[in-house]
Each structure stands twice: as structure tokens, then as C-alpha cells.
């Protein structure tokens, strides 16, 4: 009788251990650590992109432009798009941003451009968690999910009735796969989504998406494909300086968060 009881208790204990192993979900800090580790030797980037913008204001509903982006550790970011009428420039430096664009309405959406630099190139896990919170992500909420057949971690509240942001990272590599944030334009909420697709090794310890897609309310808006990536080539700090007269041009509009 005692042997049977002991056997039952052992089986029960094994089932409990097994259940806990399956159900265990790491914290956001644990999930995001591989990102910092993967790019610890990368201090800055200079990337040339071919960018296609889909919009009815262009002939044939689209336009292809040359884009150059510059990134420094800490999520510091600058984008330059070359169009017929000149360059469009956006800069993001910490909590400050700057936009020089023809259509001011675009500042309602361009914050989505800054997410990958913020997530992928931070100095510490504390800085990354802090910036994700600023982007509207509830870093206390983590779940399993799948994206295109890949097992992923989702950090943040589910997208539903409340405004919030969410980040998906691949379980195996830790690389960002998707980000969704809720913005506002013309007094209404807009879902902005970025897809980071087909990571390619650029150097021994550095990977970057081979394609980045941006969506507005699930409608394809921008596709960017890297054509040249320079790693750790010196970039002057002045390149990321926010003009003192910020009223000259507006900054980027932030995402909503669960508190708003």
C-alpha cells in the first residue's frame, strides 16, 4: 500500500514539475537580454535603404526613394529620405524628437520608425525597459505567441479596447519581430505596426532585418530594404542634435499608453 502511495505521489510531483516547466514564462528583462548581448559590440550604424512609400498622393499610389538612417547606441536615430523637393529628416534623441517633412500630418505616424533603434541598440536592460514603457509597452505583461510559425514572446497588453503598445521577439534568437503602437491622427486612434522580416547576418556578431514593413490600420504604408550597412563607422554627435528652436518644426507624436 505504501509503495503504491509513494508511486502516486512521485507521478503527481513529476506532473506538477512538468506543468510548471511548460507554463513558465520569463520576465521582460529575461526576454530582452539576448538583444543587448547580440549587439553589444555595435556602437553605431549607417544604413542605406531603398524605401517604397504607398500613398494615394503619389502617382501610381507609390513612390520609391533613397533613405539613409544613422543609429547610435542608446536608440539615437536619424533618417533622411531624398525626394524630388528635397530631403525629409527625422531625429529621435532620448525623449526629444524633430521632424522636417513636407506633410506635417506624417509626424502623427513616423514615431514607428524609431522603435527598432530604441529596442535593438540600448546601453542597458534598464534603459531598454524604461524606453519601452515610454513607448507605451506594459513590460509587466508577457505571453507566448506565434508569428509566421515562429514561437515568440509578446511583451505588453493585448491590443484591444484600451490604447497600448506591444512588442514581439523571437523565442529562439531574441530578435524583434513585430511592434504595434496606438497613435492619434485627426482626432482618431490609428494602429501603427512594424514587421521586422528575414534577419540576415551582416558581420559575425551582427544581424539586421532584410525587410522592414510599416502599416497604418493594417494597410501597408512603407517597405524598406537595406542595400548597404556600415558598422561602427564614426558618426558625429552633431548629426543627432535637435535644433534649439523646436518650434521651427514639430516633433514626432508619441504612442498612447494604458494610462491615457
Check if the beta carbon of residue 190 is closer than 8 Å to that of residue 217: yes
Check if the beta carbon of residue 234 is closer than 8 Å to that of residue 72: no
Q: Does 2.50.20 match the CATH number of domain 28-248?
A: yes
Taking the model in full, what pTM does it have?
Answer: 0.87
Q: Report, as ranges of residue numbers, the positions in the chain whose pLDDT lies below 50.
A: 5, 8-9, 12-22, 260
Check if the beta carbon of residue 169 is closer than 8 Å to that of residue 120: no
Check if the beta carbon of residue 231 is closer than 8 Å to that of residue 203: yes
Q: Tell me what pLDDT residue 187 has.
A: 86
Q: Tell me what pLDDT residue 38 has.
A: 81
Q: Tell me what pLDDT residue 13 has.
A: 47
Q: Tell me what pLDDT residue 1 has.
A: 53
Domain segments of the chain as ranges: 28-248
Q: Tell me what pLDDT residue 109 has.
A: 94
Give 220-240 pLDDT, tens digit per residue.
999 999 999 999 999 999 999
Give 75-110 pLDDT, tens digit per residue.
999 999 999 889 999 999 989 999 999 888 889 999
Amino acid at each position: 500500500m505504501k509503495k503504491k502511495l509513494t508511486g502516486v505521489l512521485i507521478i503527481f510531483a513529476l506532473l506538477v514539475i512538468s506543468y510548471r516547466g511548460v507554463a513558465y514564462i520569463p520576465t521582460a528583462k529575461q526576454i530582452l537580454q539576448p538583444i543587448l548581448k547580440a549587439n553589444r559590440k555595435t556602437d553605431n550604424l549607417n544604413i542605406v535603404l531603398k524605401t517604397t512609400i504607398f500613398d494615394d498622393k503619389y502617382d501610381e499610389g507609390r513612390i520609391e526613394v533613397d533613405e539613409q538612417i544613422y543609429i547610435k547606441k542608446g536608440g539615437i536615430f536619424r533618417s533622411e529620405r531624398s525626394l524630388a523637393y528635397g530631403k525629409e529628416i527625422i531625429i529621435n534623441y532620448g525623449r526629444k524628437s524633430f521632424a522636417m517633412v513636407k506633410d506635417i500630418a506624417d509626424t502623427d505616424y513616423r514615431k514607428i520608425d524609431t522603435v527598432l533603434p530604441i529596442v535593438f541598440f540600448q546601453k542597458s536592460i534598464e534603459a531598454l525597459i524604461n524606453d519601452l514603457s515610454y513607448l507605451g509597452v506594459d513590460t509587466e505583461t508577457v505571453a507566448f505567441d506565434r508569428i509566421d510559425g515562429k514561437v515568440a514572446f509578446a511583451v505588453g497588453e493585448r491590443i484591444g479596447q484600451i490604447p497600448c503598445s506591444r512588442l514581439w521577439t523571437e523565442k529562439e534568437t531574441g530578435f524583434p519581430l513585430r511592434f504595434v503602437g496606438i497613435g492619434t491622427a485627426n482626432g482618431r486612434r490609428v494602429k501603427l505596426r512594424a514587421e521586422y522580416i528575414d534577419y540576415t547576418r551582416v558581420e559575425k556578431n551582427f544581424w539586421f532585418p532584410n525587410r522592414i514593413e510599416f502599416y497604418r490600420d493594417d494597410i501597408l504604408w512603407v517597405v524598406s530594404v537595406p542595400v548597404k550597412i556600415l558598422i561602427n563607422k564614426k558618426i558625429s554627435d552633431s548629426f543627432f542634435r535637435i535644433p534649439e528652436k523646436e518650434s521651427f518644426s514639430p516633433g514626432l507624436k508619441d504612442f498612447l499608453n494604458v494610462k491615457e
